[in-house]
Amino acid sequence: MSTTVLLAVTGLGLGALYFLVAAGLSLIFGLMDVLNFAHGALLSVGAYATWWAAGGHLPGAGSGGFGFVLAVCFGTAVGTVAAVVLELALIRPLYDRPREQVLATVGVGLAVPALLSAIWGPDARPFPGPAALSGTFGLLGARIPVNRLVLIGAAAVVLVALRLFLGGTRHGLVVRAGVEDRAMVTALGIDVRRAFTLVFAIGGAAAALGGALGGLYYGSVDPGQGTSLLIFAFVVVVIGGTFGAGGSGAATGSVAGAALAAVVVGLVQQFANYYTASGLGDLAVVVLLAVLLLLKPGGVTGRLA
């Protein structure tokens, strides 16, 4: 029983991390048809910025209490700025060449981790976290690390915030309409490109937050972390696309679908890795991606939901 509870909470924590990456990825893909291979790099940027700030380089920030909150905010802000710069500098000039957009993000996805490892070395660095978050607590007989709860809480907050933003604000309305039918939104005289930058900023913020909290989850940061999470985030986006169909509107549907898919993927991975051979969970999830795409190719071509 205690093992099951531990696996379930850890799986949920992993799912929360996947959701933070996949939420932005699926919004970007839904709105702009850009498969953002640089999203893992954004996560790494957020993780390293938080690590740098929590290490005492940023005045006021530190590894404990309010200082750590400040460090996470700093990391998220840096990731957001990086995403906006990426969109303005590379994605926008290639607006009429969709394949080149994907290639440019591939290049960024290669260059940024290389730059990080050039500056701070290729090895994993221990991630400083507040003492309050490094302990465990008891739940139904299992000792569960507190940082799992932090991840789950952050993902829930991001999910609610995204739904409120998409459902309750004018910018959210433009994004939703753009996911549904971009040409029509443009024809109505709305500058949909401003929504592109906005969606990149949101996606970058969520991914960087994921990187900052992922540092807690893994206990360390290394340059390749984001890239290895990216493939599972792709899986979540695709599965979320098939879940989200029939929901209330494409954009909100894809975000809710991504949340559900992230939970499923995280749980499947944890349980399969524990109860069957190690690595089989990862394998199962990746094969699931191929099978779903083959059965429902519409899940990823163009509109997501």
Partner 1 sequence: MTTATTAREAATGGDVAAPAGSLRRYGRWWPAVALAALLAAPYSSLPLPGLLDGPIGSAGSLQLLALCLVFGALATGYDLLLGRTGLLSFGHALYFAAGSYATELIMVEAGLPFAVAAVLGLCCGIALAAALGSVALRVGGIAFSMVTLAFAQAGSILVERDPGGVTGGEEGRAIPADRLPASLAGIGNTANLYWIALAYLVLTLAVVHWAVRSPTGRVWEGIKENERRVEVLGLRPYGFKLVAFVLAGALAAVGGIVHLLLTGGATPQTTTSDFTLSLLVMVVLGGSGSRWGPLVGGVLYTWADHRLGDLAGSPAVSGLPSFLRVPLSQPLFLLGALFVATVVALPGGLTRLPARLRRR
Contacts with partner 1, residue ranges (CB under 8 A)? 33, 35, 37, 90, 93-94, 97, 99-100, 102-104, 106-115, 117-119, 227, 231, 234-235, 238, 277-279, 282-283, 286-287, 289-290, 293-294, 297, 299-301
Q: What is the nearest approach in angstroms of partner 1 to the Cβ of residue 179?
A: 16
Q: What is the nearest approach in angstroms of partner 1 to the Cβ of residue 279?
A: 4
Other Cβ atoms less than 10 A from the Cβ of 259: the count is: 26
Nearer to partner 1, 132 or 287 (CB): 287
Nearer to partner 1, 93 or 141 (CB): 93
Nearer to partner 1, 4 or 301 (CB): 301
Q: What is the nearest approach in angstroms of partner 1 to the Cβ of residue 245?
A: 15
Task: Give φ, ψ of 288 to 5 degrees.
Answer: -55, -40
DSSP readout, 242-274? HHHTTSSSHHHHHHHHHHHHHHHHHHHHHHHHH
Q: Are 183 and 42 in contact (CB under 8 A)?
A: no
Nearer to partner 1, 60 or 98 (CB): 98
The CA angle 72-218-118, to the nearest 5 degrees, is: 75
Nearer to partner 1, 29 or 68 (CB): 29
Strand spans (E) along 120-263: 125-126, 136-139, 142-145, 220-221
Task: Give φ, ψ of 201 to 5 degrees.
Answer: -65, -45
Q: What is the nearest approach in angstroms of partner 1 to the Cβ of residue 258?
A: 15
Q: What is the nearest approach in angstroms of partner 1 to the Cβ of residue 66?
A: 32
CA distance 269 to 176: 31
Q: What is the nearest approach in angstroms of partner 1 to the Cβ of residue 37?
A: 8
Closest CA to 13 of 239, 267, 291: 267
Q: Are 292 and 299 in contact (CB under 8 A)?
A: yes
First-residue to last-residue Cα distance in the chain: 37
Q: What is the nearest approach in angstroms of partner 1 to the Cβ of residue 129?
A: 27
Q: Are 210 and 17 in contact (CB under 8 A)?
A: yes
Nearer to partner 1, 113 or 172 (CB): 113
Name the 3-class secondary structure at 111.
helix
Nearer to partner 1, 95 or 137 (CB): 95
Q: What is the nearest approach in angstroms of partner 1 to the Cβ of residue 132?
A: 35
The 8-class DSSP code of residue 277 comes to S
CA distance 274 to 257: 26
Nearer to partner 1, 131 or 295 (CB): 295
